[in-house]
Structure 1
Amino acid sequence: MRRIAFLAPLAAALAVSGAAAAQPSAVVVTVSPDFAKTAAELGQRDVDQQVDDMRRTVERVLVQRNALDGARVELTITDLKPNRPTMQQMGDKPGLDGMRSLSIGGAAVEGTVTLASGEVQPVKFDYYTPTLADARGSTTWTDAQRAYDRLARRLADGRYTMR
């Protein structure tokens, strides 16, 4: 019984501290009209999943780092490259091998961050694996997911454009 009496105030303190964490008011991720044409070649299911993965990654990192409290983050994927063929690509080109076909992957993103003060900051970021050797051991979207994480960390640090 004493353990429960000890844990109850601790749990209450943790709940309050978690509720006070900074959160962006919204993170919205879309696909640019130009990229939408290429998205069909990758497969709409895969692209939709990557849009959702980017949104979740950015939200998670911003909350973890207590960054951009009350900001609205609007991101647009302008390019997306898988490290391995997607299901759509393998269906369209039967010669591709899901295990042995390997390429340089990554993503390019543009958008805006509207801070709680109303100030609007442009966002421009891209990351692609530097060499094919760096892509070894990758899954289909490893480098794209690495790009999302790097973008999210830059946003949390207040670095909105890649220089």
Structure 2
Amino acid sequence: MTASASPPAPLVVVMGASGCGKSSVGAALAARLGVPFQDADDLHPASNIAKMSAGVPLTDEDRAPWLRIVGAELHRQENIGLVIACSALRQVYRDTIREHAPRVFFVHLDVKKEVLAARLFMRSEHFMPLDLLESQLATLEPLAPEEPGITVDATQKIHAIVSGAEDVVRERGRTRAAAPLI
């Protein structure tokens, strides 16, 4: 591959606790990058949605098949690119996604608990109740230094979040395209 090669299609997971803005930011980022958007909530099995709707936190065993589906969907879209909104709360969850889509990049939307609670209180159309916020925050592990991704203050205006994330994703793609094959 040479410096004139096209950058690979972006594969991005917009991650964070419920209410951080994953779907809104993810859809806007996908539009800016010219790739499809998908919400990983739509990939949950019915049993997971039923548990969350009843206020029961998911276990790692509940999440495992769902995370494999998320990773497989990213892999399936590798040639055209994809932005997917997915909580991806723990590093081991992100590792599961990366097993299927090794070049995925994570955009962690960081928001304080009080802001998340206020957002969730105002949101009635989603199956994730406010009661599960504590369990999500207890599970959340910030991106580790070796993980491919950035953490963004998601209390900014959406256009600022998306512009910053787009710049980093595009630069990463240019860098990857210019790297020689080993």
Task: Give the alignment's TM-score, normalised by structure 2.
Answer: 0.30
The higher radius of gyration belongs to 1
Task: Give the alignment's TM-score, normalised by structure 1.
Answer: 0.32
Larger fraction in helix: 2
The structure with higher relative contact order (CA 8 Å, sep 6+) is 2
